[in-house]
Structure 1
C-alpha cells in the first residue's frame, strides 16, 4: 500500500468518489476511508451534497413561479428599451 494519509485521501476525494483515480489509488483511498472516521465523514458529506445537487437540478419550478419570473423579466426588458 502506498502512503495514503488524510492529506492524500482528502486531496483526491472528489476524483475517488467519481471513480477517476487509478485502481491502486482507489484501493489505498478506500482502505484509508475504512479506517479513518474523519475522512469517511468528509466523504459522506461530499456524497450527500452531490446527491442533493443532482436531485435539485432535476426539479422544475412550479408553473406559477415560472410565469411570475417571466412576467417580471418582460417588464424589466420593456423599461430598458
Structure 2
C-alpha cells in the first residue's frame, strides 16, 4: 500500500469523489481513506454534502415562489426606471 497522506487526501478529496483523479491517485487516496479514520470522516461529510446539494439542484421551486420572485423583480425594475 502506498499511503498518500492526509494532506494529499484532503486536498484531492473533491476530485476523488467525482472520479476526476487518475487511476493511480484514486487507488492511493482510496487506500489512505481505508486506513485513516479522520479522513474517512471528512470523506463522509464531503460525500453527504455533495449528495444533498445534488438532490437540491434537481428539485424545482414551487410555482407560487416562482411567481412571487418574478413579481418582486418586476416591481424592482419598475422602481428603477
Normalised by the size of structure 1, how large is the TM-score?
0.90
Name the CA shift for 1:31/1:3 in 2 (closer, same or farther; >3 Å): closer
1:38-49 correspondence to structure 2 within 5 Å: 38-49=38-49
Runs of 4+ more than 2 Å apart: none
Q: How many residue pairs end up in the alignment?
A: 81
Matched, 1:35 2:35: yes
Displacement after TM superposition at 1:18 (Å): 1.2
Displacement after TM superposition at 1:2 (Å): 3.6
Displacement after TM superposition at 1:72 (Å): 1.2
1:1-80 correspondence to structure 2 within 5 Å: 1-80=1-80
> What's the RMSD between the two structures over aligned residues?
1.2
Structure 2 gap ranges (5+): none
Q: What is the alpha-carbon distance in structure 2 between the residues aligned to residue 13 and residue 36 of structure 1?
A: 13
Displacement after TM superposition at 1:64 (Å): 1.0
1:39-62 per-position Cα deviation (integer Å, ceiling 9, x unaligned): 011011111111111111111111
